[in-house]
Amino acid sequence: YNPVAGFAYDKYNSLEEIQTEMKRLKKEYPTMITLIDIGQSHENRTLLVMKITGKRNPLGSKISMWIDAGIHAREWIAPATAMYIAHELLLGYENDATVAKLMDHIDFYILPVMNPDGYEYSREKNRMWRKNRSPAKCARQTFSTVCCSGVDLNRNFDWFWASTGSSSDPCHDTYHGSAAFSEPESQAVRDFLEQNTPEAFISLHSYSQMWLIPYGHRKQSYPQDYHTGLRPLALRATKALYELYGTKYQVGTGADLMYEASGGSHDWAKGQLKVPYAYLIELRPKNTMMGHGFLLPEREIVPTGLETFESIKVVADELVAQ
Ligand code: ING
Ligand code: ZN
C-alpha cells in the first residue's frame, strides 16, 4: 500500500493492502459501507466482508448479492476483480444512475479473500498453492508416513461432500477435508450466509473464461430452474461481458464443461441454501498460456474488472426487476 498514491487497483495486492483499502473506503463512504468480521482463518487472519449499499432505500427491506473471491490461493485475479467491483459500485453511485439504482435496491456483500492464509502463502512461498493452510495431517503409506497441509475449500462444502472429483489424501490439491465444513473459512461463510441468505451468490475463480451454473458434482445434473432461470440469465450476463472487449465465456455446469467435483460452494448455495441465482465464474485467461494460466499479467486486471462488472450488473438488474 502506497500512502501517497493509495491502493493500486491495477496491481496484485497483499491481504494487508486489501484490508487497509477496505478500511479506507469505509472512512470515505461511511454511510454506504459496513465492514463485517465473519470469522478467522486457521492462522487467525480476519475474514472481512464489505457490505456496500446505496443511501436511499426505496424497497424498505432490501435484496442482497454475495460475491466472494480468493477461495483458491493462486487465483490472484479473483480478489483483484472483487476489489474492482467494489470500486466500480462506489464510484458509480455518484456518476452512473443505473449503478445508483441497483445500489439503492441491493445490499452487496463482498468477501475479497476467502482463503487469506493460502493467498499469503501463494505470495510468499509457493505461487501455485491452491488450498487453505490447515495444519498438516499425516497419511501412512507402504514404507513411510507423509504429512501435508491444506484443504481444498471448494471441496469442503456440504453438497454431496467427498463423492466426486475430490481426494481423501491430505497431500492432494483437491483434498476435501476430514468432514464437510471442517475448516474455519468454510464454516464462517456458511454461518454468515445462513443468517443472511442472498438472492444471488457469485464465487470468483480463475481461469478458463467460464460461467459455471450448478450442479458441478455430476454430469447432466441441474436444478429445476436451470433452463428457465439460471442459464438464460448467465447467457445474458456473459453477452454483456462480451460486448465490452469481445471476451468469450462458455456457459454450463462445471461437470459438463470440465469435470465432476462435489463440495463446491456454488452447488451448496443453490442446493442447500436455495439461493435463486448461484454461480461460479472462472475469470481470464482462457488458456493455460503455456502453463501460466494463473499468472495473468497485471495489465489485464482493470479490463477483467470492467468486463466482469458488466455481467454483475445484469445479474443485479434481474434481482431488481423481479
Ligand atoms: N475451478 C473449480 C474447481 O473448484 C469447478 C471449478 C467446480 C469445476 C465444480 C467443476 C465442478 O475445481 C477452480 N478454479 O478450481
Ligand atoms: Zn478456483
Residue nearest to atom 4 of ligand 1 (CA): 154
The pTM of this model reads 0.97
- Report the distance separating Cα 129 and Cα 131, nearest Å: 6
pLDDT at position 2 over 90: no
Give catalytic status of residue 282 as yes or no: yes
pLDDT at 4 (0 to 100): 61
pLDDT at 280 (0 to 100): 99
Dihedral Cα 190, 277, 103, 16, nearest 10 deg: 40
Of these residues, 21, 88, 260, 282, which one is catalytic? 282
In this prediction, residues 9-29 reach a mean pLDDT of: 98
Model confidence pLDDT, tens digit, residues 154-177? 999 999 999 999 999 999 999 999
Name the grid cell of 82: 472483487
pLDDT at position 57 over 90: no
Distance of CA 140 to the CA centre of its chain: 34
Residues with CB under 5 A from ligand 2 (ion): 72, 75, 205
Residue nearest to atom 10 of ligand 1 (CA): 254
- Report the distance separating Cα 196 and Cα 193, nearest Å: 5
Residue of higher predicted confidence among 121 and 322: 121
ipTM score over 0.95, yes or no: yes
- CA-217 nearest atom, ligand 1: 11
pLDDT at 3 (0 to 100): 60
pLDDT at 12 (0 to 100): 98
Name the grid cell of 164: 466426486
Distance in Å, CA 261 to ligand 1 centroid = 7
Residue nearest to atom 12 of ligand 1 (CA): 261
Q: Among the residues of the chain, which ranges form H helices?
A: 15-28, 77-95, 97-105, 116-124, 184-195, 231-245, 254-257, 265-271, 301-321
Angle between helices 77-95 and 15-28 (to 10 degrees): 10
The position carrying cell 489485464 is: 300
Model confidence pLDDT, tens digit, residues 135-152? 999 988 889 999 999 999
pLDDT at position 270 over 70: yes
**Can you say whether residue 274 is alpha, beta or left, with left for phi > 0 and alpha for psi between -120 and 50 degrees?**
left
Name the grid cell of 186: 468454510
Residue 254 beta carbon below 6 angstroms from any ligand 1 atom:
yes
pLDDT at 81 (0 to 100): 98
Residue 213 pLDDT level (bands cut at 50, 70, 90): very high
Model confidence pLDDT, tens digit, residues 277-300? 999 999 999 998 776 799 999 999
Lowest mean pLDDT among 48-62, 70-84, 219-233: 48-62
* Contacts (Cβ under 8 Å, ≥6 apart) of 147: 136, 137, 138, 139, 170
pLDDT at 66 (0 to 100): 98
The position carrying cell 497419511 is: 139
Mean pLDDT for all residues in the chain:
96
Q: What is the CA radius of gyration of the chain?
A: 19
Residue 263 beta carbon below 6 angstroms from any ligand 1 atom:
no
pLDDT at 126 (0 to 100): 98
